[in-house]
Structure 1
Amino acid sequence: MHKFRSRLTLIFILLIGSSVLIAGLFMAQVLRDSHIDALKTNMLRELRIILVTMDWNRAGTEAEQVAYFTNQTNRLRDSADARVTYIRSDGKVLGDSDHDPEDMENHLQRKEIIEAQQTGVFGTDIRFSSTVQRNMLYVVVPVKDGSQTRGYLRLAMSLEEVEASIKRVWYVLLFGLIAVFLIAALISYRIAWGITRPIEMITKVARQITNMDYKARVTVRKKDEIGQLGQALNRMADSLQVQMNRILEDESRLKSVLDNMISGVMMIDRESKIVLLNRSAEDILGFSVQELLGKKFDEAKQQFEFTQLIQECIDMREHIRDEMIFYYPSERILEINLSPISLQEDEWAGVLIVLHDITAVRRLERMRSEFVANVSHELKTPIAAVKGFAETLLAGAMDDKETAKSFLQIIFDESERLNRLIGDILELSKIESKRIPLQFSPVHVHAFITNCLHVLASEAKKKSIELDMQVEEDLYIEADEDRLRQILINLLSNGINYTPEGGRVRVKVEAAFPGSEGSENERIRMIITDTGIGIPKKDLPRIFERFYRVDKARSRSSGGTGLGLSIVKHLVELHKGTVRVESEVGLGTKFIIELPVIQY
């Protein structure tokens, strides 16, 4: 912009200077011409006066004429203050005030003589005189005798004075031009500043807008064309700021949606490069954005089948849906949807890939199938027993009272077992669907444990099993008392059932302070231990599954439904707690439950 201002100032200076210089040249030329015209007029007047006051038709020999006319021209020189020359009609110089006529060449072809011949009045010329070595003004009038031209009388005057005057004019013009240039420079710079400063500000603001600073504005002080340009730029910046804010908001929303989507989203452009990858896609594929973004899909470290599927979509340009097992970073089942992208009808833009992790869905489907199969099996066993013994009674066993009584007892026990099984299934279904609202209230732990042990005392006494508790007196917890009792009785019943006669089942409750097991608030820890048969290590991860039994024959003989521990796990989680198990075969089992003291 400084260069532009300098150029603009220079243009103004050149325009003004050129105008002044042209005007000076014109003035000097006009002054010179007018001065010369005045000299011509005066010289012509003097020539006419000389013609009428003297006799120029002198007869005699040529030598006599030369002497006579030379004498006359010398005499006239002082009065005319000019060089006087008399030229015969044939061009011979007969007299000259400044030079010997004999040494002078013929003047018939001189411009002023030719002009006088042609006009018959006078002739003029300005030229450098080789005789006197200066610029001269020549004025000639013809000397006539009647209608016959006898010769020509010429006055010649030096132009030194004219040239000196013109030189003085040039000096004045030069100094004036310098002054004008200085004044023009100041005025031009001021004008250029006034023009370029607003443009410079507008350019600066435009550059800031180009650099995405949409808050930049032009300060408009005038309402001229530049002011209108500044206002237009401000309106454009306002519009751009609104649009960019809207774009940024939409981009932020889209980024938030993509980052928080459970499904993985991946986009491949027309050059087969990966251009988009959300956080879920990173987790699913096991690679970060930095590792995959900008790479071609067939060069990225991806499963071969997945790469083939992408290539198939690019070749066919049709939607493809498929399921595939991925083994990295962990084994999982993915539902893959590939959709071709077109910006216009025939313009291919790439492929959009959506990855759904359906491992949990398939596992739930498998668990549902296993659950139905297990329920069917568990229901079928008591029903088959009831049906079989009923048929036996109907076939005649009713006549034997002892046998009939034994069979009826079996039918009763199996129906009770069937009733318990159906009740546990319904209970588990309600718990899993979270249709059981928990009623939280303060529970005095010592009294609560004492009551639970009292309920099971008779059952433990049958097997001579010792029930023991170790609980602090002033320990309280906020919980649903009925559900907490269901948890504890289930675990105590299991301990009694799987502990041989003469064994021991103990309940210990202690405080677990913040920081224990990653807890955020104060918790209590319930530990239920027994001296039973124990659980093999291979079975420990699955004991909380529905219908899972370590020893199926013994579980059925004990009257268990296989749903107790699953119910325990769900009820503990509803209390925002955790449950885990430790066991060694032949030494016993330990269930450890941690629950928050206060429910939030």
Structure 2
Amino acid sequence: MRPFRIRLAIIMMVLIGISVIVAGYTMGRVFKNTHITALEQTMVREINLLKATFPFHDASDPTNAETQKYYSERAVELDRLTDSRVTFINKDGTVIGDSESDPNSMDNHLNRQEIKEAVGQNYGQSIRYSATLGQDMLYVALPVNSDQSDMIELPNGKFDGYIRLSMSLEAVDQGLQQGWILMFFTLGLLFLIVALVSYRVARGLTSPIEHITKVAHRITKLDYDARVDVTRNDEIGQLGLAINGMADSLQMQLKTIRDNEALLQSVLANMTGGIIMIDAGQSIALVNREAERMLGIQAERVTGKLYIELKRHYELTRTIEESVALREPMHEEVSVFNPVEKLIRIDGVPMSEDDGAYRGMLFLLQDVTAIRRLESMRSEFVANVSHELKTPVAAVKGFAETLLSGGVQDKETERSFLQIIYDEGDRLNRLIGDILELSKIESKRAPLQCSPVHVHSFFEMVLGTLSKVAEKKEIRLEMNVPEELYIEADEDKMKQIFINLLSNGINYTPEGGRVKLQVTVEHNEDEEEVVFAVSDTGIGIPKKDLPRIFERFYRVDKGRSRNSGGTGLGLSIVKHLVELHHGKLAVESELGMGTSFRVILPLIQDEEI
């Protein structure tokens, strides 16, 4: 309890000191006001006495020198009798006599405070600093009209204006000043004694409180490592322990909040699906990174705004609008354009508090464009495979049934039927082989087995394989390949690439045409690349078909392709094998002029391959 008593004693001393100061100040003000009021009433009585006894002179012309002289002399006489400055003021504010100054040098007094108060009252008064005398003065003025007063006046005497007395407040101020000096000296001595006694006690109390305050300020600025050094067991020590406990609790809670927030942000940022949250006010509360990418928006620009900010995605906005209106789960697929068309699956669920209060809608966006395209490609692939397999199987079955029924007696016809069965079986075998090869490549079950390949020798072997087919059609094969060029690649897969491209060139080039292979090395900033150009003088490919020629089973001229023995999978296999080598594939063609395929492969494959 001792610290409490010390604090109470300090508070009492402060209160006593304040009370004494306030009382002294109040007494000084009362003394001053009372003295001024007494002076004011005395001056009013003196002016009233002047009104009744003063011999007024005609003052109708305030600028008249005789008039000013008369009233100035009388003012001087009255100043000696009343010990006050006397001023005679005409009704229009012109000074016509003053005991201390020349009336001609004095300005108009109509706007002086005491004159304005005297207009509507019995008298007017004001206290202000006199620049002429250099001290505070009390001014009292009364209106005087000699025609309306029972006063003694000179013949033809007429005065209509104001009589003003003024007295210095210097004596009052000096008395107050002496009282203030005495009071402050006494209080100063008293407080000096009290201060010397209480200094150590006050310091002992304020120092730990200041320390606690500084620590509290550091905690408010999120410095949760700040702690109070507790060295005492009283109430202040308990307060320090409480502050430390609060800081420990806040630090733990903030760490938990930050960890949870970081985890949530990481989950949202790395989700493969887009997230959009619409709050109860129909404003966008949250947009994650994937949703930004899908919709081509920026979270900082749309967050906090109404969901209609997504209006350029009409179907999405309409779906969100319906879901927000119904506040029910929904599942739909919509198309958005950013900049190409994408198919987005949107799943919406309403959010609510534990008490059931509605908080908004949460929407999950999934880009299902590739999935739907893959489903379509699979369906198309199955249909194409079924069709491609059915044709040779039907041919084999038909000719075999004819032979088994004994309907063919001619050996030459029988031989031609058997040849057709053989050719269709061979075609069926190649088709199945190509399908299996393409499936293996697409499923990544055909890794590259890279080794240095001597390009010139490699193409001599490839062209040698195809030379007999070219000779039958009288097609000239040309090769322009550097002698000392090596490339790091899978030789078997390279053979598949170029046999397919060169075979197509031979098959679709009329007799007497030309198929040319040219190899060059190009240098760019990152690496060296080898460019393989396979060109022919064949029938060419229409421009509308160029974007699709690498699709499975796509044929520009279906009848011609079948007659040439093609399966429709060759260019698709080429595309996948080139990509497997981290290369690029391009095609240029003009109807009737020929086609040119460009295969660009890195000179050296990356180590990761």
Letter in 1 for 2:576: H
Residue 277 (structure 2) pairs with residue 267 (structure 1): yes
Q: Which residue of 2 aligns with 1:567?
A: 573
Residue 437 (structure 2) pairs with residue 427 (structure 1): yes
Q: Which residue of 1 aligns with 2:553?
A: 547
Question: What is the TM-score normalised by the length of structure 2?
Answer: 0.67
SS state at 2:447 partner: coil
Unaligned 5+ segments in structure 1 are: 1-6, 22-171
Q: Which residue of 2 aligns with 1:11?
A: 11
Given the superposition, is the C-alpha separation of residues 505 and 174 from structure 1 closer, same or farther in structure 2, using an over 3 Å criterion? closer
Distance 1:226 1:454 in 2: 101
Runs of 4 or more, structure 1, over 6 Å off, are 7-10, 15-21, 172-177
SS state at 2:307 partner: coil
After superposition, residues 96-495 of structure 1 pair within 5 angstroms as 178-186=188-196, 188=198, 191-220=201-230, 222=232, 224-298=234-308, 300-327=310-337, 329-495=339-505
C-alpha contact (below 8 Å) 2:302/2:309 kept by paired residues? no
Distance 1:340 1:295 in 2: 19
Question: What is the TM-score normalised by the length of structure 1?
Answer: 0.68
Given the superposition, is the C-alpha separation of residues 448 and 214 from structure 1 closer, same or farther in structure 2, using an over 3 Å criterion? farther
Residue 584 (structure 2) pairs with residue 578 (structure 1): yes
SS state at 1:590 partner: strand
SS state at 1:335 partner: strand
Distance 2:260 2:480 in 1: 61
Percent identity over the alignment is 60
Letter in 2 for 1:292: V
Post-superposition Cα deviations, 1:347-386, rounded to whole Å, max 9, x if no partner, equal 1111100011111111111111111111111111111211
Distance 1:17 1:329 in 2: 81
Given the superposition, is the C-alpha separation of residues 205 and 330 from structure 1 closer, same or farther in structure 2, using an over 3 Å criterion? farther
Aligned-pair CA distance for 1:178: 4.3
Aligned-pair CA distance for 1:552: 0.9
Letter in 2 for 1:551: D
Distance 1:455 1:299 in 2: 64
Aligned length: 440
Aligned-pair CA distance for 1:586: 1.7
SS state at 2:519 partner: strand
SS state at 2:530 partner: strand
Aligned-pair CA distance for 1:532: 1.6
Distance 1:175 1:291 in 2: 69
Aligned-pair CA distance for 1:238: 3.6
Distance 1:18 1:323 in 2: 79
Aligned-pair CA distance for 1:472: 2.1
Distance 1:18 1:373 in 2: 103
Q: Which residue of 2 aligns with 1:599?
A: 606
Distance 1:298 1:18 in 2: 66
Given the superposition, is the C-alpha separation of residues 508 and 215 from structure 1 closer, same or farther in structure 2, using an over 3 Å criterion? farther
C-alpha contact (below 8 Å) 2:542/2:590 kept by paired residues? yes
Aligned-pair CA distance for 1:177: 6.6
Given the superposition, is the C-alpha separation of residues 342 and 392 from structure 1 closer, same or farther in structure 2, using an over 3 Å criterion? same
Letter in 1 for 2:195: A
C-alpha contact (below 8 Å) 2:352/2:360 kept by paired residues? yes
SS state at 1:554 partner: helix
Given the superposition, is the C-alpha separation of residues 292 and 424 from structure 1 closer, same or farther in structure 2, using an over 3 Å criterion? same
Given the superposition, is the C-alpha separation of residues 234 and 423 from structure 1 closer, same or farther in structure 2, using an over 3 Å criterion? same
C-alpha contact (below 8 Å) 2:316/2:335 kept by paired residues? no
Residue 534 (structure 2) pairs with residue 534 (structure 1): no
Aligned-pair CA distance for 1:224: 4.6
Given the superposition, is the C-alpha separation of residues 312 and 183 from structure 1 closer, same or farther in structure 2, using an over 3 Å criterion? same
C-alpha contact (below 8 Å) 1:275/1:293 kept by paired residues? yes
SS state at 1:460 partner: helix
Q: Which has the larger radius of gyration?
A: 1
Unaligned 5+ segments in structure 2 are: 1-6, 22-181
Residue 563 (structure 2) pairs with residue 557 (structure 1): yes
Counterpart pick for 1:496 among 483, 506, 511: 506
Distance 2:226 2:448 in 1: 60
C-alpha contact (below 8 Å) 1:272/1:297 kept by paired residues? yes
Distance 1:9 1:186 in 2: 14
Aligned-pair CA distance for 1:481: 1.3
SS state at 2:561 partner: helix
Post-superposition Cα deviations, 1:273-330, rounded to whole Å, max 9, x if no partner, equal 1100112212322322233211122454254543443344334432111122234543
Aligned-pair CA distance for 1:8: 10
